[in-house]
Chains A and B, each alone.
Chain A
Amino acid sequence: GENVEQHPSTLSVQEGDSAVIKCTYSDSASNYFPWYKQELGKGPQLIIDIRSNVGEKKDQRIAVTLNKTAKHFSLHITETQPEDSAVYFCAASKSSDSGTYKYIFGTGTRLKVLA
């Protein structure tokens, strides 16, 4: 079945270092790849997204890359800060037969930024 693998499950980095989280998807029909940040007890918040016709997107300290051939996409956070500590979820999405959007989430990465 369709799935999204996400690695690593936990990641600890020193403040100021970079963090990279990787996802692999199985459904080649997926065409939209959002990343969500979830803090404890809160809802997932969209932080960046990328569409299948783009290879890379950057927003300040956050960047996402997509390799459609390999079905890989990655989140890069540079100059990490303690407030970046959270659980990060990747997702692969495509249009469903009904016209809405089917999201398959990765299993999450718990990022800890050590001060």
Chain B
Amino acid sequence: AAGVIQSPRHLIKEKRETATLKCYPIPRHDTVYWYQQGPGQDPQFLISFYVKMQSDKGSIPDRFSAQQFSDYHSELNMSSLELGDSALYFCASSFRRGRNSGNTIYFGEGSWLTVV
């Protein structure tokens, strides 16, 4: 079965540079989530989108922005990178059902960002 596709898998950037991560959700999934996971940490929610609209916002820094496009893929843009931004960034997707049905989110393999 198709999974969540993230690119690039690895990237190295210098401080103050910018980086863009891409996420292609599972086909038919309309909701995308972005998470940041530091070494030995649990995933921290950054932001989510439902049919191109920002849905929820977590601990996303102001230096970061994201959007979801008409084909439901999403991009996370990170500017003025800092050493502390080094982490594994996950995208997850889900298909929105009824409000109270409980929805499973499926994670991609992540994009490793190293800021030097």
User: Interface of A with B (CB < 8 Å)?
Assistant: 31-32, 34, 36, 41-46, 49, 51-52, 89, 93, 95-96, 98-103, 105-108
Contact = CB atoms under 8 A, between A and B. Distances in A.
Contacts of B43: 44, 89, 105
B56 A42 contact: no
Nearest to B49: A100
Contact of B102 (A31, A45, A99): A31
Interface in B6-53: 31, 33, 41-43, 45, 48, 50
A3 to B, nearest CB: 11
A107 B41 CA distance: 7
Nearest to A96: B56
A100 to B, nearest CB: 4
Interface in B59-116: 88, 90, 94, 96, 99-100, 102-110, 112
A102 B50 CA distance: 13
Given A42-B110, A43-B90, A103-B105, A98 B50 contact: yes
Most chain-B Cβ atoms within 10 A of its Cβ — which of A49, A89, A103? A103
Given A42-B110, A100-B31, A100-B96, A89 B42 contact: yes
A106 to B, nearest CB: 6
Contacts of B56: 96, 98, 100, 102
A44 B55 contact: no
B102 A43 contact: no
A100 B108 contact: no
Contact of B100 (A49, A89, A95, A108): A95
B104 A34 contact: yes
A85 B70 CA distance: 39
Given A43-B110, A105-B42, A99 B105 contact: no
